[in-house]
Amino acid sequence: MTTTTYPISEEQVQFYQENGYIQLLNVLTADELAQARQALDEVMEQQLDESHDRSADAEYRKIFVQKVNLWQVHGGVRRYVFNARLAEIARRLARAQTIRLWHDHALIKMPGDSKASSWHQDIPYWPMQEDGSLSCWMALDDVYVENGCMAFIPGSHRLGRLEPINLKAPQDLFKLVPDEQARELNLDFTPRFQPMPAGSCTFHDGRTFHYAGPNQSDRPRRAIITIYMPDEVHFSGKPHIVTDDLQLTPGAALTGERFPILAP
């Protein structure tokens, strides 16, 4: 992967800070996009153990096929995940000193998927004491409303962490929002959909409300998500597939080989 920079203005950083998300067009070169697609297609053919394959659950498969920490099992995915340009964008958006990897995962909505992803925040499911971690959602195919592009609620990250919802069952995240707090923050709950060409991406804060609709097209909708941690983040003690085998104690820093620095 090349390490040329992608121009990020202070206005874009401010937009991200205020809204909790941002869309960036044509971040990958044509060669990088082709390499990422090939790597994902190849790793999808591999037999992965349950620490990497989260698709055994039939209810989840109705929403998407999910593979986790593919950088550990495929060199091509590793080259994509360690892309210094993407990590530097994350560092600048988060106004962080350093950026570490939390994990990557592939989310593929198969043709004719009948279920949308539920509106949710990410951070309630991550065993992190601190807020501020952010995700790069990279489109490997052109995405639009009909095949399940991302959608966000601007400013919803300012609500802080809410209770985690059941992602496999219908549950209304918005009912967890205190009315008074929503009025104080002057939130507009109109979804902002993010259609974009392949090789483009969105970044969003782990507290930002987001969702993706069903894939009603006749082709898979492929995306790779890389989740970044700013500066030092500490383990909360919650169970998670990425940390369950590490025998961490609450308060331990999420550092080391499992969580490499990607942008110093």
pLDDT band with cut points at 50, 70 and 90 for residue 5: confident
**Does residue 66 surpass a pLDDT of 50?**
yes
**Does residue 62 surpass a pLDDT of 90?**
no
Mean pLDDT over 130-137 rounds to 98
Q: Which parts of the chain are beta strand (E)? A: 21-24, 65-68, 99-109, 134-139, 150-152, 192-193, 201-205, 210-212, 221-230, 261-263
Domains in the chain (CATH in brackets) are: 10-238 (2.60.120.620)
Q: What is the pLDDT of residue 1?
A: 44
What is the rounded CA–CA span in Å between residue 196 and residue 25? 7
Q: What is the pLDDT of residue 57?
A: 54
